[in-house]
Amino acid sequence: MKVKETAIPGNHNLMPDDRTGKSALSRVDGRLKVTGKAKYSAEYNVKDLVYGVMVGSSVTKGTIKSIDTKKAENAPGVLSVLTYLNAPKIPGYQADNPSPKGPLKIFYNNQVYFNGQPIALVVADTFERALFASTLVTATYDTEAHQTNLLTNLDKGVSTRREDKDFVKGQANAWQSAPVKVDAEYIIPTEVHNPMELHAIIARWDAGDKVSVYTKTQGVKSSQRSIAQAFKLPPDNVQVTAPFVGGAFGSALRTWPHEIAAVLASKVVGKPVKLVLSRADMFTSVGYRPFTWQKVSLGAGADGKLTGITHEATGQSSVYEDFTEGVVNISQLMYACPNINTRYRLVSLNVNTPTPMRGPGEATGAFALESAMDELSYALNIDPIELRMRNYAETDPSNNKPYSSKFLAEAYKIGAEKIGWTERSQKPGTILQNGWHIGYGMAAGMFGAHRSSSTVTAKMQADGTLVLQTAVTDIGPGTGTAMASVATGVMDIPADKIKIVLGDSSLPPSPTQGGSQIAATVGSAVHDACTELKEKFKSMAGNTDPADYIKILKQQGLDHLEVTTTSKSGPEQGKYSMYSWSVHFMRVLVHPATGVVKIDKAISVADAGQILSPKTARSQMIGGTIMGIGMALMEEAVIDHRYGRLVNNNFADYHVPVQADIPQVEAYFVNKADNILNPIGAKGMGEIATIGVAAAVANAVYNATGKRVRELPITPDKLL
């Protein structure tokens, strides 16, 4: 296969942007962020601010028998201690349909579903006083036997929704009769998003029925809807502001009980309330990637062609709410195979509800499928890339639809060259240098290339500044920068003449930032709004250069010209399968005596369509690779099942990669436009940056040592 490499150099300050022919934009809000001028939710100076601290349940299952709040109420500076006994009823809770399952209702009754569940909120005039008083709240409980261990409850797995129904294409379990087989179980532990910025909210009632919040959220419009629903307010009475978000990875996709508690407390005390979760709270209050058991069985002929794929998974959720994710979906779609069957089950445990975490479902599923493919490559003695090419899907194996675009083969080629794949030995454990085993591994990823509806206002001002407004949040990937990059291309004006206004619920609507859809969705709306604005200028230009916006405005006696455009997907959605693709390559060093694994080099290559903003895209891709390395080697939230309580809910014991753990990571893009998906040719990349990384590391560790680790994280004890 011969392809022209159009990858963007991995580490280069003067990246070209082939859309504009100019050098790539730097992050438009980078200066604000590094100088501390960007304000995050906890940082607003609101007059008369008071502070809330949550108190969590110390038992894992049961009912509250009594809560003693007297000492806390009498402590200095305390304004209120809210519990289920005294908190005003939240009107939206009462109106909810009485279905037994649903989001956790705070201060609703005496039921305890998990350890750390909020049972009280202390509000005081300073944070320190609230924190001190929170230690004075005591409760007694009637406890019941709890279950927090998925592995001892696998037999309780149930199918929860129609979407979870078993998938069968061709014959089920066809792998069993294949000449070459792999049949293995894989486990991932609970992982917690742990963005650097703690979840925080400042809530203030402006009038009897109007509330303003600064809150950490991935979607100001969805936060507005949720808070309005809870307090039975018209949505316009709820103002949500979140122009900067310090990472989220899925943890801020929904409105959590602590946010409702802060809004409620502000009403009770008649003052604005600030509530910042502690790092320990972050482990029990804002979701996580759930502990998941999987079994993948592959059958192939001696030619390496897959004849059967079977993928089973069992995940966990809370007892009060079903959280499901597409763990097995990747096996329905990734490889051309006549016989595929998958099954997904859920076990309810006494834990808080999980929530999507970067690459939800697929990051978990890809660890199992792509590890199993690696195992099959050794069973067949076929190079792992060659094995994937022999089973390359040219159309979607699950429904035979054509792809809107798929350049995964090109990504394999780029990645193999950049990692130096020819240096790899097909026989594991054979390369030893300076006392370290060296291994090479690779694994692929995919995620739906979504596009939904976005409304953007594009306004040209008399001074030549273009203002772009929409109610999207930028949680870090560089949404504003991509918007500016699209706009400079259409309007042909320099980026420093563009002002991006985001993260405010009063702006024109855009979706929540999640599911890798924002660049394609909002980018397309920016494209369409700017194109329309430019047409308007053209029609007014007369003898003037239509790109001389200032002159035209002056001629027409206008102080600005603006358009508001809604842009969304169309009939192409039903006709094509639309995915982004990635491949990750790792070179690892494994120390034979200590079992220490070091990543020596990491290469990630994406087919994410047309890259809109090369610098921020590269940064996002590298971030996703690092997150996957954490998943592979370090991250694990550990519960002591005797007590149902987390034992490592802090950054000393819950390990995430630090600078010294991460080598040179290079990101490359095939960078070919998907002209079917949207007018700018972009596909998402937030999820594919992480999906497949953990398997690539595990596969490299096997290549280095001959030891197959099927349970993450790959800690030294598992290699000795």
Q: Which residues bind ligand MOS (CB under 6 A)?
A: 218, 249-250, 253, 356-358, 360, 514-516, 686-687
- Closest approach of ligand MOS to the CB of residue 154, in Å: 25
- Closest approach of ligand MOS to the CB of residue 355, in Å: 8
Residue 593: count of CB within 10 angstroms of its CB? 8
Q: Is 23 helix (H, G, I), strand (E, B) or coil?
A: strand
Which residue in the list 321, 394, 687, 711 is annotated as catalytic? Answer: 687
User: Which residue number, 62 or 477, has a Cβ lying nearer to ligand MOS?
Assistant: 477
- Closest approach of ligand MOS to the CB of residue 329, in Å: 15
User: Which residue number, 474 or 687, has a Cβ lying nearer to ligand MOS?
Assistant: 687
User: Which residue number, 249 or 293, has a Cβ lying nearer to ligand MOS?
Assistant: 249
- Closest approach of ligand MOS to the CB of residue 604, in Å: 17
User: Which residue number, 69 or 512, has a Cβ lying nearer to ligand MOS?
Assistant: 512
User: Which residue number, 308 or 686, has a Cβ lying nearer to ligand MOS?
Assistant: 686
What per-residue string of b and e applies to 470-498 under the rule 16 or more CB within 10 Å gives b?
A: bbbbbbbbbbbbbbbbbbbbbbebebebb
Give CA–CA dist 441/698, Å, rounded. 7
Residue that is written with structure tokens 């690092």 in the block: 626
Strands across the sheet containing 579-590: 432-433, 436-448, 579-590, 597-607, 664-669
Q: Could you tell me the CA-to-CA distances from 402 to 91, 330, 366, 579 in Å, in that order?
A: 48, 17, 22, 11
- Closest approach of ligand MOS to the CB of residue 253, in Å: 5
**Residue pair 524/536 in contact by the 8 Å Cβ criterion:** no
| Tokens, residue 365 | 């599923």
- Closest approach of ligand MOS to the CB of residue 132, in Å: 35
- Closest approach of ligand MOS to the CB of residue 211, in Å: 25
**Residue pair 305/391 in contact by the 8 Å Cβ criterion:** yes
Give CA–CA dist 66/85, Å, rounded. 10
For this structure, is 5 an active site residue?
A: no
User: Which residue number, 253 or 712, has a Cβ lying nearer to ligand MOS?
Assistant: 253
User: Which residue number, 500 or 627, has a Cβ lying nearer to ligand MOS?
Assistant: 627
Closest CA to 679 of 564, 549, 520, 480: 520
Residue 19: count of CB within 10 angstroms of its CB? 22
Nearest residue to ligand MOS, using CB? 250
Give CA–CA dist 517/573, Å, rounded. 14
Residue that is written with structure tokens 């709306």 in the block: 525
| Tokens, residue 463 | 């001074």
Q: Crossing angle for the helix pair 220-231 and 257-269, nearest 10 degrees?
A: 60
Task: List residues with catalytic annotation.
Answer: 687
